[in-house]
A = this chain, B = another copy of it.
Amino acid sequence: MNGRCVITVGDLGEFGVVARITGRLPQGGAVLLGPGDDAAVVSAPDGRVVVTTDLLIEGRHFRRDWSSGYDIGRKAAAQNLSDVVAMGADPTGIVVGLGLPPEAATDWLDDLTDGFRDECDLVGASVVGGDITRCDLVVIAVTAMGDLGGREPVTRSGARPGDAVAVAGRLGHAAAGLALLHGGRTEPAELVDAHRRPEPPYARGPEAATLGATSMLDVSDGLFQDLGHVAKASRTGIALDPGAFAVHPLLEEAARLLGADPLEWMLSGGDDHALAATFPAGVRLPPAWTVVGQVIDGEGVQVTGRPMGRGGWDHFSK
């Protein structure tokens, strides 16, 4: 190990690892009982709890040579917290199951832990508990909870013909960053960073609920595919206007470098965790939201004047 002494997870043992992790995790006001018991206790003042879970596997969802432990922690927390705000709820806490190889360095584990902590901190949530076990691959299971604060949950099934379709947050940046990495490039750095670490527009979720959003979801598999879920659940069609998308100059630059189409990234790229929502016609939206289409009679998602493949991700497609 190039002459340095690297302390590993295996050196600490299970209880040492747990103590090391929990020592780095402050507990926020919603946490009535934090890590260290059979279960945690979290405040749920609304009387309902929003809950979502994601499982991330090394080599499939992240690579330790492409992303730091810190970025992996941020991203794993972000994609779950984003699902909570996409219901219109405020995140309160997450629990984390970790599968770790014994040879993993404790420094790397510290970075991972800090990533979870800092992403939760953005929304006032805490890491309230977890489980660790030995595994040849790094496996990360995150479950996030949230409180609706008296609002009704915004589902995928409430879109109605005539509603405006709007998006908030970055679209296509993570996909462009991944394409750059696959092409052996690390610039533009902002896009590569966007792949490593999404920046979900957290505040926009509860905001949309308050504004009367009729449907909402977190864009995780690509806007085109994810809006397909809204169309199907709502039994409507959706028409997107390609001219309404504001293509970021960095996406234009990356597309030139790689000979790609920036709008393809925006329509089919996942991992940015933008929010897409439908609003009753005439609702005045704050500037963070961009109207990109309309709910229509019919079915499926169409992009005016543009043929589209199926796009998006299927984790078992061949």
- List residues of A whose CB falls within 8 A of some B CB: 9-10, 12-17, 32-33, 36-57, 60-61, 83-84, 86-87, 89, 93, 95-99, 102, 128-135, 137, 139, 141, 143-146, 148, 153, 155-156, 216-218, 233, 313-318
Contact = CB atoms under 8 A, between A and B. Distances in A.
A132 B315 CA distance: 8
B44 A47 contact: yes
Given A134-B316, A135-B57, A316-B134, A51 B38 contact: no
A14 B55 CA distance: 14
B148 A97 contact: no
Nearest to A17: B316
Contact of A316 (B52, B83, B102, B141): B102
A155 B57 CA distance: 33
25 contacts: A12-B316, A16-B316, A17-B316, A33-B155, A37-B153, A38-B84, A39-B50, A39-B86, A41-B50, A41-B51, A41-B153, A49-B49, A51-B143, A53-B95, A53-B96, A53-B131, A54-B131, A55-B97, A55-B131, A55-B132, A102-B318, A132-B315, A135-B137, A135-B139, A145-B145
Contacts of A48: 32, 41-44
Nearest to A83: B38
Given A95-B51, A133-B57, A39 B318 contact: no
A13 B314 CA distance: 7
Contacts of A83: 38-39
Contacts of A313: 14
A168 B292 CA distance: 60
A41 B61 CA distance: 26
